Structure 1
């Protein structure tokens, strides 16, 4: 992985803490909308992590592919991934 591992690790640990907090909220029967807000915040954080990793993949892995075939393969992986994300 070519993304900033320190930043990614920090963000993922934050997301893990948020999920733990959400679990506690569910166990305590907290107000549904409050839980949904926390879920949305966690999703946003995970989307940020995903964007960072995909950006690094484009800048490094795809850009530094040695042959045209390797580049096309990596681009096709991204196209396939985006197809699953955008359903």
Structure 2
């Protein structure tokens, strides 16, 4: 497994535990701001995991495409542009 994917996997396993905690908080009717704070932490971890995946993709797949295949290069670049566009919205 590539380094970026391994880092993302670790973060997402943490998120899984955090989600279980948030579910318990909801079931226990805990304070809304506390729940929201935990949800924001989860969102942050998911964003970081996505960054790890995209960085890994740039270092491997996109780099290989740029070196080897012009049509594949354009496709890989467009994929990244589409992802960035989704982040901005």
TM-score using structure 1 length: 0.90
Q: Which runs of 5+ in 2 are unaligned?
A: none
**Residue 40 (structure 1) shift:** 0.6
**Residue 3 (structure 1) shift:** 4.0
Q: Which runs of 5+ in 1 are unaligned?
A: none
**Are positions 1:52 and 2:67 aligned together?**
no
Over aligned residues, Cα RMSD in angstroms? 1.5
Which residue of structure 2 aligns with residue 42 of structure 1? 42
Determine the C-alpha separation between the residues in 1 that align with 2:58 and 2:41: 26
Which residue of structure 2 aligns with residue 84 of structure 1? 86
Determine the C-alpha separation between the residues in 2 that align with 1:28 and 1:10: 28
**Residue 9 (structure 1) shift:** 2.0
**Large movers: runs of 4+ above 3 Å:** 1-6
**Residue 69 (structure 1) shift:** 1.5
Aligned counterparts, 1:1-87, within 5 A: 2-65=2-65, 66-87=68-89
